[in-house]
């Protein structure tokens, strides 16, 4: 299988290439767009030689964003170029599912997939973002670019931080490193999360696919066999973030990590808000965090 | 005079503050918005003490942009924070002038002021961006923030590169350093420039305010007393820029600099296009260029 990938745009960036692409996703059942940054060293590598494939970090964006947001606003390409890391930036939901009402709210439906596999009608046909990110996207990218699928980390912002933490905890063999910026740490406990989980998964008590399986704090708390990421997890949280008190709950995740012995560097940053000026201010540290872990796996 | 400045938004960024503000401009005769990045060291300084005021660089954006574009897309705050430089980002035209037809074209009128003082009706009442940038903006900023008005550089992108070069050449005592990214170097010779100059200034031959006074290459060529910026001018130009051949004419400016002995570092960058992925890729070098010159003036 070598699905065709359509190039939407490519821009030289810090000696590498910031591209945007579209492909037919078998998981989603619709065309999906993604951004990809390939650092300059990747021009020297060869997809046919596993030794020369490069590590990659998947970035999951937050509510209202798309596959361009992080590429435009985070200023991540400079550090990725320096470290030789690829950056994979999926969209935040299916587009074109034409679910009635999917564009009615900014925190549910379009650009608000919460990176889970919906079980409820009418969402389940296309809103399968967890499987898309964990099982399809990386292999699609690796068929055209020299990505080492065995050295892939995942990170995200806000809703995407929730996605990164939950997907990493559910697929630790797939994602070797994880970090998050202002993540929704306990969606079963906050308004955004309750709305999304009930809409996509149905009532918690009645669901075969319980809400706790999509809550990073609950997933961490359930790690009976000890720390899933012994090399540590990095989270940055701004203290001037207007969503901190009602929606984000980093303390829940901190307590869960403490309970299972998971090393967590939770940096509470005075003065920073929820936006991309904060993301940009800490992104280099996050890429260094992933690089440090992924470089050990060569 | 201490005109009131309204804060639209402020975001912590690399230890400093990326803010957006609005003030009543006496030059424009309308409210004008601007962006301002103040680096972290500025919190330690005091507007009452001239010794502690910091150097600043004015950035002029290109066609279709506004006061937010550079702040969001260029990734300049990291280097500005490191160097202790303030960044001043005006809007690209008056807003609210309500000139008939001002929004009809993307290359003339709104967001397309060309940073000159219009002499023609109906533009002359408000389209006075040259005087606004050169004579009002910096002093307005310096009344509230600890900017050293004697250490201000100017740079810009595309139309803003034209603005930076022409304003620096006309006001070398005001702007001590200058650089540009993909600038319109000879507006009297290209379609964008001819349209703007004829619209804002009228027919060249009939004008008291000749087009050549708004053309960086012609202004440089006319520097009879030698190099106006002996410490050098920096220009970056991407060679995959689709506007290079028809609109930008860096060779004209290069030849003019050569003729008057003006040191010019014109870097022709293979593979880069006209967009902000290019701006971001070279911005650190531009800020270092300004810092090197402005630091000599302490």
Instruction: Check B238 against A276: CB less than 8 A apart.
Output: no
Which of A236, A235, A289 lies closest to A85, judged by CA?
A289
State pLDDT tens for residues A148-181: 999 999 999 999 999 999 999 999 999 999 999 9
Whether cis (ω within 30° of 0) applies to the bond prior to A122 is yes
* Statement: residue B208 has pLDDT above 80: no
Q: Which residues of B touch A8 (CB under 8 A)?
A: none
pLDDT number for residue A126:
98
pLDDT confidence tier of residue A100, bands split at 50, 70 and 90: very high
Instruction: Check A280 against B73: CB less than 8 A apart.
Output: no
C-alpha A34: how far from its chain's center?
12
pLDDT number for residue B109:
95
DSSP annotation string for chain A: ----EEEEEEEEETTEEEEEEEEEETTTTEEEEEEEEE-GGGGG--TT-GGG-EEEEEEE--TT--TTHHHHHS--HHHHHHHT-EEEEE-SS-SS---TTTTSBTTBBTTB-TTSB--STTTTTT-BHHHIIIIIIHHHHHHHS-EEEEEEEEEEETHHHHHHHHHHHH-TTT-SEEEEES----GGGSHHHHHHHHHHH--TTT-SS-GGGG-HHHHHHT-TTS-S-TT-EEEEEETT-TTIIIII-HHHHHHHHHHHT--EEEEEETT--SSHHHHHHHHHHHHHHHHHHHGGG-
Distance from the Cα of A284 to chain B's closest Cα (Å) equals 10
Chain B residues interacting with chain A (CB cutoff of 8 angstroms)? 11-15, 18, 72-73, 75, 77-78, 238, 240, 269, 271-273, 275-278, 280-281, 284
* Statement: residue A44 has pLDDT above 60: no
* B198 flagged as catalytic: no
* Contact criterion met (CB below 8 Å) for B93 and B196: no
User: Catalytic amino acids of A?
Assistant: 158, 241, 274
**CA A125 vs CA A30, A93, B142, B164: distances in Å:** 10, 13, 58, 54
- The SS3 call for residue B283 is helix
Q: How far apart are the first and last CA of chain A?
A: 27
Instruction: Check A278 against B12: CB less than 8 A apart.
Output: yes
Which of B125, B130, B148 lies closest to B45, judged by CA?
B148
Which DSSP category does B67 fall into?
A: T
C-alpha A203/C-alpha A294 separation (Å) is 39
Instruction: Check A277 against B75: CB less than 8 A apart.
Output: no
Which of B248, B223, B229, B228 lies closest to B237, judged by CA?
B248
* Statement: residue A46 has pLDDT above 50: no
Top residue of A35, A38, A65, A75 to mutate, by most chain B CBs within 10 Å, is A75
* Statement: residue A78 has pLDDT above 70: yes
Q: CA-CA-CA-CA torsion for A165, A167, A172, A178, nearest 10 degrees?
A: -30
C-alpha B108/C-alpha B111 separation (Å) is 8
pLDDT confidence tier of residue B159, bands split at 50, 70 and 90: very high
Distance from the Cα of A214 to chain B's closest Cα (Å) equals 31
Cβ neighbours, 10 Å, residue B101: 11
> Long-range contact list for B220-224, CB < 8 A, 24+ apart?
B220/B169, B220/B253, B220/B256, B220/B257, B220/B259, B220/B260, B220/B262, B221/B256, B221/B259, B221/B260, B223/B169, B223/B260, B223/B262, B224/B260
Instruction: Check B73 against A73: CB less than 8 A apart.
Output: yes
pLDDT confidence tier of residue B41, bands split at 50, 70 and 90: confident
Instruction: Check B11 against A278: CB less than 8 A apart.
Output: yes
pLDDT confidence tier of residue A204, bands split at 50, 70 and 90: confident
* Statement: residue B43 has pLDDT above 60: no
Q: Strand B147-157 and strand B177-181: pairing?
A: parallel
* Contact criterion met (CB below 8 Å) for A86 and A147: yes
pLDDT number for residue B46:
47
Distance from the Cα of A19 to chain B's closest Cα (Å) equals 11
Tell me whether residue B71 is exposed, middle or buried, using C-beta atoms within 10 angstroms of its C-beta: 0 to 12, 13 to 18, 19 or more.
Answer: buried
Whether cis (ω within 30° of 0) applies to the bond prior to B122 is yes
Only one residue has tokens 């201010």, namely A281
Residue B227's DSSP bridge partners are none
Q: Report the chain B residue with the minimal C-alpha distance to residue A279.
A: B13
Residue B38's DSSP bridge partners are B17
Instruction: Check A13 against B281: CB less than 8 A apart.
Output: yes
Q: In chain B, which ranges are continuous DSSP H helix?
A: 69-73, 77-83, 129-131, 138-144, 159-170, 191-201, 216-221, 250-260, 276-294
C-alpha A111: how far from its chain's center?
13
Tell me whether residue B232 is exposed, middle or buried, using C-beta atoms within 10 angstroms of its C-beta: 0 to 12, 13 to 18, 19 or more.
Answer: middle
User: For chain B, what is the radius of gyration of the CA atoms?
Assistant: 18
Instruction: Check B12 against A238: CB less than 8 A apart.
Output: yes
Instruction: Check B276 against A72: CB less than 8 A apart.
Output: yes
C-alpha A267/C-alpha A174 separation (Å) is 26
Instruction: Check A72 against B13: CB less than 8 A apart.
Output: no
What is the percent of chain B where pLDDT is above 90? 91
pLDDT confidence tier of residue A41, bands split at 50, 70 and 90: confident
- The SS3 call for residue B134 is helix
Residue A37's DSSP bridge partners are A18, A87
C-alpha B197/C-alpha B118 separation (Å) is 9
* Statement: residue B48 has pLDDT above 60: no
Across the interface, which of B12, B72, B273 has its CB nearest the CB of A12? Answer: B273
State pLDDT tens for residues A115-146: 999 999 999 999 999 999 999 999 999 999 99
Q: Report the chain A residue with the minimal C-alpha distance to residue B79.
A: A281
Alpha-carbon torsion (B86, B91, B96, B99), positive or negative: positive
C-alpha B110/C-alpha A177 separation (Å) is 47
pLDDT number for residue A49:
54
Across the interface, which of A78, A269, A275 has its CB nearest the CB of B75? Answer: A78
Tell me whether residue A182 is exposed, middle or buried, using C-beta atoms within 10 angstroms of its C-beta: 0 to 12, 13 to 18, 19 or more.
Answer: buried
Q: Which residues of A touch B275 (CB under 8 A)?
A: 11
Instruction: Check B277 against A78: CB less than 8 A apart.
Output: no
Which of A195-199, A203-207, B148-152 shows the lowest mean pLDDT across its residues? A203-207
Q: What are phi and psi of A184, to 5 degrees?
A: -80, 105
Q: Which residues of B touch A73 (CB under 8 A)?
A: 72-73
Across the interface, which of A14, A73, A240 has its CB nearest the CB of B281? Answer: A14
Q: What is the mean pLDDT of residues A270-291?
A: 98
Provide the mean pLDDT of chain B: 94
pLDDT number for residue B51:
62
Distance from the Cα of B269 to chain A's closest Cα (Å) equals 10
Top residue of A268, A270, A280, A283 to mutate, by most chain B CBs within 10 Å, is A280
Top residue of A11, A269, A284 to mutate, by most chain B CBs within 10 Å, is A11
C-alpha A29/C-alpha B107 separation (Å) is 41
* Statement: residue B278 has pLDDT above 70: yes
Tell me whether residue B261 is exposed, middle or buried, using C-beta atoms within 10 angstroms of its C-beta: 0 to 12, 13 to 18, 19 or more.
Answer: exposed
Top residue of B12, B36, B242, B244 to mutate, by most chain A CBs within 10 Å, is B12
pLDDT number for residue A224:
86
Residue A16's DSSP bridge partners are A13
Which DSSP category does B214 fall into?
A: G
pLDDT number for residue A1:
45
């Amino acid at each position: 299988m070598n699905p065709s990938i359509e190039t939407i745009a490519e821009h030289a960036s810090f000696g590498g290439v910031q591209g945007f692409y579209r492909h037919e996703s078998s998981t989603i059942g619709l065309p999906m767009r993604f951004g990809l940054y390939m650092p300059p060293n990747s021009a020297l590598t060869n997809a046919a030689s596993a030794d020369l494939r490069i590590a990659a970090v998947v970035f999951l964006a937050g509510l209202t964003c798309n596959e361009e947001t992080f590429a435009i606003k985070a200023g991540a390409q400079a550090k990725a170029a320096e470290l030789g890391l690829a950056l994979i930036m999926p969209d935040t939901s299916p587009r074109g599912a034409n679910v009635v009402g999917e564009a009615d709210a900014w925190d549910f439906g379009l650009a608000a997939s919460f990176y889970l596999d919906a079980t409820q009608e009418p969402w389940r046909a296309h809103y399968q973002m967890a499987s898309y990110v964990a099982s399809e996207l990386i292999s699609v990218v690796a068929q055209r670019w020299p990505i080492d699928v065995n050295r892939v980390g995942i990170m995200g912002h806000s809703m995407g931080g929730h996605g990164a933490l939950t997907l990493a905890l559910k697929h630790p063999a797939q994602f070797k490193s994880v970090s998050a910026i202002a993540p929704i740490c306990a969606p079963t406990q906050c308004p955004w999360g309750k709305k999304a989980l009930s809409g996509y998964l149905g009532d918690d008590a009645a669901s075969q696919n319980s809400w706790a399986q999509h809550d990073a704090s609950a997933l961490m708390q359930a790690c009976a066999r000890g720390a899933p990421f012994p090399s540590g997890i990095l989270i940055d949280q701004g203290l001037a973030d207007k969503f901190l008190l009602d929606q984000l709950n980093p303390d829940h995740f901190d307590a869960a990590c403490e309970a299972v012995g998971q090393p967590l560097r939770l940096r509470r940053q005075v003065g920073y808000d929820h936006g991309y000026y904060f993301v940009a201010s800490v992104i280099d540290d996050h890429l260094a965090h992933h690089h440090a872990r992924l470089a050990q796996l060569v």
